[in-house]
Structure 1
């Protein structure tokens, strides 16, 4: 009986010798995705943008040890109007000597240049996948870490103003992470993991090339961990080269950041990126669940 009990304890703790890892709820994360989309488009200056910010602060104020907003102003490229932007930071165990950062952008595209309907190209998108998905995982992580304090310091960061750039100029994107990188408001993290476009119906997470250049050891560690956890959405092949929030973090602040992203939304033949088909109906919980599970297994096993 003692032998059976010992085996059962190992199962509870997932693997003997490893820390106990909380379960990640893909369903809860998907509900957070839906909730954000109910606010409507969340492009800077919009009513949906204001409501979403209030919602994030409500969640983080209930869960994190420290929550604050990093504000900055920027000029909208099409209207030339000055708009207030807000990066949101929620810290867990902020005094720990080991600190990591997990981020996502929370704003949505103010226009839909890839729309098949000419009359709608200048209308903002809902951004269920490109905007709400990474945030959905982060909100669920916050709730889990409230109940299960992490063994290290974790800063959850929501970047504003990632998605109103123009294709001709990569640095016109990711304004929130650029401001953050120039004005680091937290203890310097060992590295950062950015989450973007992780909720489509056919999730596949290939290795993004900037990520491998910036922090190859972390990329290999996470994809190996995904393999050991049987997370079949993670593919050990390089496929994309994408300018995302992880690039300014590394190039401007020296934070070795990586990106977990599925840019084929939902596949190579069809892509809803920057269209009005970026909606809840074209998303699913699976990618959220696998990415969230990977994040928890990584966080709670850092020595």
Structure 2
């Protein structure tokens, strides 16, 4: 088992609660609470900064430099930060991987988990040109966008402490596997799920993946609806109230992503993902395909969930 620092252990113990569900009428938006503004330009800077290191492929210099940046940056904002380091053997190599875990409002036993993956894919296997398929993916949208939104949210949580407990995890090794080899995708979330404290069970989790596309279209994902339909509907109701129509009411796509290992250990987690992204797993996944406005729309939805959610309702 991993060793958990005292502050992290404290929030795990505080969050020891039986599984709860957001039954109809149990969760609602508190309309009187002032929600902080999401800074789209700041979030986009976080996206560009990650890409500036180069592809964040495990064992590379770019990967190490980006890890150091993410750890340093989120340490400015969080109440506690942990580097969860581990190795994964694959294709005859040992990959050094790191999950970055940050926590806010340590005293709150009512916690929400927010997560994204920070690595980028080693091979652009969706490229039409065979010669390009061995090149690494820049990962502006696929990886950096979700992390960028969460870094901006972390900055906001520092300045405006949240009314509930929030844990943010940047998972490593999500995109390491060869296409079709599901055992070697989502390595970081699998490691976290296997090694978490048994009594760590947040109210629910939200995964952000590929949320920066200029042509943003976020459908309800099939596995999310299977494991936590009430959470999906609650989040989409917030988007609807805010007039963010990029969140579509239709169900589309079945995605194997970091939310699957979390759901399998009882952390009811949904995936906010725009899977209709033409540059997915190609060398063209660059910042010019993304927009600050898309990051802002997703960030606003998540911020409204954090600041306007009423924990006492879910406790019924």
Q: TM-score, normalised by structure 1?
A: 0.90
Aligned residues: 281
Aligned with residue 233 of structure 2, among 195, 220, 224: 220
Aligned-pair CA distance for 1:16 = 8.1
Task: Look up the match of 2:248.
Answer: 235
Aligned with residue 116 of structure 1, among 101, 110, 128: 128
Task: Look up the match of 2:41.
Answer: 27
Task: Look up the match of 2:13.
Answer: none
Q: Larger relative CO (CA 8 A, sep 6+): 1 or 2?
A: 2
1:75 is aligned to 2:89: yes
CA distance, structure 2, for counterparts of residue 145 and residue 222 of structure 1: 19
Task: Look up the match of 2:14.
Answer: none
Aligned with residue 259 of structure 2, among 246, 251, 257: 246
8 Å contact from structure 2 (residues 221, 271) kept in 1: yes
- CA distance change for structure 1 residues 16 and 223 in 2, over 3 Å: closer, same or farther? closer
Aligned with residue 296 of structure 1, among 277, 298, 303: 303
Aligned-pair CA distance for 1:299 = 0.2
1:146 is aligned to 2:153: no
8 Å contact from structure 2 (residues 217, 247) kept in 1: yes
8 Å contact from structure 1 (residues 99, 187) kept in 2: no
1:127-182: CA deviation from partner (whole Å, max 9, x where unpaired): 00001000000100010000000001100000000001122232321010000000
Give the secondary structure class of the aligned counterpart of 1:130. Answer: helix
Aligned-pair CA distance for 1:17 = 4.6
Greater shift, 116-125 or 225-234, is seen at: 116-125
Q: TM-score, normalised by structure 2?
A: 0.86
1:65-101: CA deviation from partner (whole Å, max 9, x where unpaired): 0001111100233xx2101100000100122110110
Aligned with residue 134 of structure 1, among 115, 130, 146: 146
8 Å contact from structure 2 (residues 30, 309) kept in 1: no
1:36 is aligned to 2:50: yes
Task: Look up the match of 1:202.
Answer: 215
Aligned-pair CA distance for 1:64 = 0.3
Task: Look up the match of 2:12.
Answer: none
8 Å contact from structure 1 (residues 203, 286) kept in 2: no
CA distance, structure 2, for counterparts of residue 123 and residue 295 of structure 1: 34
Structure 1 unaligned spans of 5+ = 1-14, 266-270
- CA distance change for structure 1 residues 152 and 16 in 2, over 3 Å: closer, same or farther? closer
Give the secondary structure class of the aligned counterpart of 1:293. Answer: helix
- CA distance change for structure 1 residues 16 and 192 in 2, over 3 Å: closer, same or farther? closer
Aligned-pair CA distance for 1:188 = 2.3
Give the secondary structure class of the aligned counterpart of 1:300. Answer: helix
Aligned with residue 173 of structure 2, among 132, 146, 161: 161
CA distance, structure 1, for counterparts of residue 188 and residue 54 of structure 2: 21
CA distance, structure 1, for counterparts of residue 32 and residue 57 of structure 2: 42
Give the secondary structure class of the aligned counterpart of 1:85. Answer: strand
CA distance, structure 1, for counterparts of residue 228 and residue 178 of structure 2: 27
CA distance, structure 2, for counterparts of residue 16 and residue 127 of structure 1: 36
8 Å contact from structure 1 (residues 29, 139) kept in 2: yes
Aligned-pair CA distance for 1:194 = 0.1
CA RMSD in angstroms, aligned pairs only:
1.4
Task: Look up the match of 2:269.
Answer: 257
